[in-house]
A = this chain, B = another copy of it.
Amino acid sequence: MIKISIIGSGNVAQHLITTFLHLEELSNDVALIQVFSRKKENLSQLLSPQKIVTEFNNLLEADLYIIAVSDDAIENVSAQLPFRNRLVVHTSGSVPVTQLNSNNRRGVFYPLQTFTKGKTISFRNIPICLEAENTFDYQVLNKVARLISDKVYAINSEQRKALHVAAVFVNNFTNHLYAIGNEICIENQIPFDILKPLMQETADKVMTILPNEAQTGPAVRNDKKTIAAHEAFLINNENQLKLYKTLTQSIQHNGKKL
């Protein structure tokens, strides 16, 4: 049995806690023995108070410590752990494994997904990107990851940096384009609901077709008449117009490379 402690009480920590507690009920492969949280009440809905510790000194020996705190706090938290040579990982897409304190054996357990407070989401479909400094530690992480997810990948710190940037494009920036779509709807008294099936199909399509092959629209067709009409429509909104021009140019730039 792999004994796990989680450090943190935010979105990712809470999703991991729920998942490990559920797993405990089904098998003896893992045990979530403790969770560290500055404030017990943050987690009182999720697990019994005896399992919550508020002081690092009260952390028991575990096989794996998962630090699930904000990026900025990882270095400091890992330096405060009052033990040595144990396996300590963080869950961040953008922090190199070397930011963890070298007192312990270091690794990364990065679930690549957008977590919403209160929205349950199955870990089975969430890719988990693993990194460790030696083979034995990697095997521990791999065993834990495969218990909760069907999609486990070995990703080093350099690749993880790239993946995090790619995730910003397909998640943060895509969501912003949805926000622009909503803004245009509001400005023209159109219900945003009209766009929703299109948004879902746009995502569904690239599950089976490469995005470059799925590209449609005036930019990739170089349909100058429609592009000019759209730019004229956006003329009074400097921000929307700048986005439209930049994205259109980028599509045409990519088209040329093919």
Contacts and interface: CB of A to CB of B under 8 A. Distances in A.
A163 B159 CA distance: 38
Interface stretch (A31-39, A82-90, A188-196): A188-196
A116 B214 contact: yes
A50 interface: no
Given A114-B198, A116-B209, A233 B176 contact: no
Total copies of this chain within the assembly: 2
Interface residues of A, number: 91
A151 B211 contact: no
B114 A194 contact: no
Interface of A: 71-72, 94, 112-114, 116, 119, 121, 125-127, 129, 151, 153, 155, 158-159, 161-185, 187-191, 193-207, 209-212, 214-220, 223, 225-226, 229-230, 233-234, 239, 242-244, 246-247, 250-251, 253-254
